[in-house]
C-alpha cells in the first residue's frame, strides 16, 4: 500500500489500524478549483493528488487524502506564518467550523472517492491562549491552524459532531470500510 502523504497524523492512523504501507511523496500543485463547495474541493484535491501516482496503481493500492477547514464557506488552509495562524484561530474562536477530508483510493482499474465532514465548536479563546498555542505548537502544517489532538483541542474545543479522526487528519473508519468493501482480497497482504 502506498500512502501519498507526508502527514505524520495520517501515517499514525494507518499504523494504529495495523496496515503496512510505504510513504511515497511526489510534488503536486494543490490549486483550489473555483466555484466548488468545500466537500467538492476536498474530494477534488484528493483525486488530483492521486493522478500523480497512476504508474503505481497496477501493483499497489494508493491512498491520497486532503483535509480542509471551512468557516461559513471560507476555506482556512494551512497558515502561511504566525500572523496568519493567529488570524485563523481568532476567526475560529467562539464559532463552529467544518472539517472535511477527501479521500481517494485507487488500485488497478478501481477508484473509490469519498469525503467525511465533522463540525467542530470552539469555545471563546483568550488572546493569550491563541498566542500560546501558536508559539508553542507551531500549527503551520495544519489546515485551519489547529490540531484537535493537541493542547488547543484539550482546552478550546467545546464539542464535535462527527468523526474525531477526520479532524485529526483522515476518517480512518471510513477508509477501512472502503478498503474492506472494495479491495477485500488485497487487505490481508497489508496487515501487520
Q: Indicate the pairing of strand 74-76 with strand 22-23.
A: unpaired
Is 135 catalytic? The answer is no
Q: Which residue has the higher pLDDT, 107 or 29?
A: 107
Q: Look at residue 89 in the predicted model and tell me its pLDDT.
A: 98
pLDDT value of residue 180 = 92
Q: State the average pLDDT over residues 11-35.
A: 91
Within 8 A by CB and 6+ apart from 161, the residues are 118, 119, 121
CB 94 within 8 A of CB 81: no
pLDDT tens-place string over residues 70-90? 999 899 999 999 999 999 999
What the block records as the C-alpha cell of 27 is 510534488
In the prediction, which pLDDT does 33 show?
A: 80
Full set of structural domains in the chain with CATH: 2-190 (3.90.950.10)
Q: Can you give the pLDDT at residue 137? A: 96
Place of cell 495544519: 142
187 falls in which pLDDT band (50, 70, 90)? confident
Mean pLDDT rounded to a whole number for the chain: 94
List 66, 84, 141, 163, catalytic entry: 66
Range from 26-35, 39-48, 84-93 carrying the lowest mean pLDDT: 26-35
DSSP symbol at 81 = S
Considering only residues 34 and 153, tell me which one the structure prediction assigns the higher pLDDT: 153
Give the model's pLDDT for residue 189: 78
- 34: CB partners within 8 A, 6+ apart: none
- Give the integer Cα–Cα distance in Å for 176 and 80: 33
- Indicate whether 31 pLDDT > 90: no
CA 57 vs CA 91, 108, 110: distances in Å: 40, 5, 9
Model pLDDT for residues 90-147, shown as the tens digit of each residue: 999 999 999 999 999 999 999 999 999 999 999 999 999 999 999 999 999 999 999 9
Percent of the chain with pLDDT over 70: 99
User: What is the pLDDT averaged over residues 157-174?
Assistant: 97
> Would you state the pLDDT for residue 186?
75
Amino acid at each position: 500500500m502506498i500512502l501519498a502523504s507526508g502527514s505524520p497524523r495520517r501515517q499514525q492512523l494507518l499504523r494504529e489500524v495495523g496496515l503496512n504501507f510505504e510513504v511515497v511523496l511526489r510534488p503536486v500543485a494543490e490549486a483550489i478549483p473555483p466555484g466548488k463547495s468545500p466537500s467538492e474541493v476536498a474530494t477534488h484535491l484528493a483525486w488530483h493528488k492521486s493522478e500523480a501516482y497512476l504508474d503505481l496503481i497496477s501493483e499497489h493500492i494508493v491512498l491520497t487524502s486532503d483535509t480542509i477547514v471551512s468557516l461559513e464557506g471560507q476555506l482556512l488552509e494551512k497558515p502561511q506564518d504566525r500572523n496568519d495562524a493567529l488570524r485563523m484561530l481568532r476567526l475560529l474562536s467562539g464559532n463552529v467550523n467544518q472539517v472535511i477530508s477527501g479521500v481517494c483510493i485507487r488500485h488497478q482499474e478501481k477508484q473509490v472517492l469519498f469525503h467525511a465532514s465533522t463540525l467542530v465548536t470552539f469555545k471563546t479563546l483568550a488572546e493569550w491562549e491563541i498566542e500560546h498555542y501558536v508559539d508553542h505548537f507551531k500549527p503551520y502544517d495544519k489546515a485551519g491552524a489547529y490540531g484537535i489532538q493537541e493542547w488547543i483541542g484539550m482546552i478550546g474545543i467545546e464539542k464535535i459532531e462527527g468523526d474525531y479522526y477526520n479532524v485529526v487528519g483522515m476518517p480512518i473508519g471510513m477508509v477501512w470500510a472502503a478498503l474492506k468493501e472494495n479491495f477485500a482480497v488485497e487487505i490481508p497482504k497489508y496487515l501487520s
